[in-house]
Structure 1
Amino acid sequence: MDKWITFDCYGTLVDWRTGMGNSLEIVAPGRGADMLSLHRKIEGEIEMQEAYRPYREVLAESVRRMARSLQLPLGPGDEEILAATLPFWPVYPDTNEALLELKRAGWKLAILSNVDRDLITGTLRHFSCLIDLVVTAQDVRSYKPADAHARRFLELTGVSSDRWLYAAVNLQYDLRPGRALGANCVWINREREPMPDDPDILFGESAGMSGLPGIAAQFEMSRSVSQAGERK
């Protein structure tokens, strides 16, 4: 049976903060950082409190609300800046080498992302290896932290818990829901946050993607030891 690692994309593999910040500077020179500081809260409110709408629309509404909160004027079409630039946001420097190493070790790779499929298609071109499966919000008509992405992944792969790692930067949106469905979670702690109050949800932690192949190898070793013990 295949072994799988699921990832969040923007924040874990892709440097969304740099990409979004630079994009917002285009429409609000000198205020991009201020808008960025509001983004997570505003986008989360749109995704969770309203009926499903395509992520392209979520991004546009987020820009409108961020600008309104800061009393910033927007020109015609400025609200489309994030959707227009998202496919060009940079991957983190440690992403591609880690993905290649995982591929060489026989892992299949999946992305579970809160975006539209056409947007992530542009992002996939920046990865140096094939992503075997992508599940988007558009596919399941739902946004994380709801678990529809992970459930669709399980339906499509049939993977068992002992062959599933979930690597992501966000505990609330990815790792806690994934753990509830049986994933073995690896926290890509890029922002150097303190350990959560529920550290038992984690199989491992790494400050970036470069540590993930080693953690994946440890996971396989622990599985082999467990299986050997069961055979005795």
Structure 2
Amino acid sequence: MAVIRWATFDCFGTLVDWRHGIANGIDLLFPGQGRTLVEAYNGHERAVQTESPGMRYRDVMAEALRRAARDARLDLRPDDTHVLGDTIAYWPVFPDVAANLTELRAAGWRIALLTNCDQDIIGETQRRLGAPVDTVVTAEMVGSYKPNHNHFTRFEESFGATRDRWVHVAQSYFHDMEPAKALDVPRVWINRYSDVRDPSIADAVLPDLSAVVETVESVNRNARA
């Protein structure tokens, strides 16, 4: 029987340009403010996810936007608070995604998404990735947001994934690299934004997905050694 190997990916920030999507959504309401408010929004989103782990992601985005707008003294109308949830299905996929996920799957890896979003959102997003995905674990399914370990443990329990045939690939240091390290899941950090934090937390670090196939294979070999 063939050994099943899993490559799990975060979605937003790793496969989908999260920063671009957030900034453009904000610009629809407050032209020219998007790039300025991204970091403030990011901090508020983490806080809301921690405070209300059972809240749907659409509502998390709305509350984080409310707080970011309040801090910036911008007048956010109540009927505009869901602009990010309304546009997320159209956020751009990074150009290195389709070909490299397709190649990874052709190399014998199954692909799963461990994502901090709702079922309907990831369903809309999957159709734009340009490569098949075998399964998904969402925040809505597990009732919490990464860096809580529930995504990882649900995936492990559901598919019998073991550390010698599982590699996690993600951009977020906080949401993905830290919990994956805590759980001793082999991991590849996609450091798209040249984050200066300690790279030794990961088994390998890449600036994008262009070398992800050979890197995942190498990390997996080392895990089996």
Q: Which of the five TM-score ranges fits, normalised by the shorter chain? A: over 0.9
Q: Which residue of 1 aligns with 2:137?
A: 135
Q: How many residues align?
A: 223
CA-to-aligned-CA distance 1:135-164 (integer Å, 9 cap, x gap): 010000101110000000001110110111
What residue ranges of structure 1 are gaps of 5+ in the alignment? Answer: 227-232
Computing the radius of gyration from Cα coordinates, the structure with the larger value is 1
Letter of the 2:131 counterpart: C
Q: C-alpha separation between the residues in 2 aligned to 1:202 and 1:59?
A: 28
- For the 8 Å contact 2:163–2:223, the answer to whether it is kept is no
After TM superposition, the structure 1 stretch with the greater mean CA deviation from structure 2, 180-189 or 82-91, is 180-189
CA-to-aligned-CA distance 1:7-55 (integer Å, 9 cap, x gap): 1100001101111111110011121222212111101111112352111
CA-to-aligned-CA distance 1:96-140 (integer Å, 9 cap, x gap): 111011011010011111111111111101112211111010000
Q: Which residue of 2 aligns with 1:214?
A: 214
Structural RMSD (CA): 1.5
After TM superposition, the structure 1 stretch with the greater mean CA deviation from structure 2, 47-56 or 8-17, is 47-56
Q: Secondary structure at the match of 2:203?
A: strand
Q: C-alpha separation between the residues in 2 aligned to 1:195 and 1:44?
A: 18
> Which aligned pairs between 1:108-187 and structure 2 lie closer than 5 A?
108-187=110-189
Q: C-alpha separation between the residues in 2 aligned to 1:50 and 1:76?
A: 20
Q: Secondary structure at the match of 1:108?
A: strand
Q: Which residue of 1 aligns with 2:61?
A: 59
After TM superposition, the structure 1 stretch with the greater mean CA deviation from structure 2, 138-147 or 185-194, is 185-194
Q: C-alpha separation between the residues in 1 aligned to 2:36 and 2:222?
A: 45
Q: Secondary structure at the match of 1:77?
A: helix
Q: C-alpha separation between the residues in 2 aligned to 1:156 and 1:130?
A: 19
What residue ranges of structure 2 are gaps of 5+ in the alignment? Answer: none
Q: CA deviation at 1:222?
A: 3.8
> Which aligned pairs between 1:25-64 and structure 2 lie closer than 5 A?
25-64=27-66
Provide TM-score, normalisation by structure 2: 0.94
Change (3 A) 1:93 1:155: same
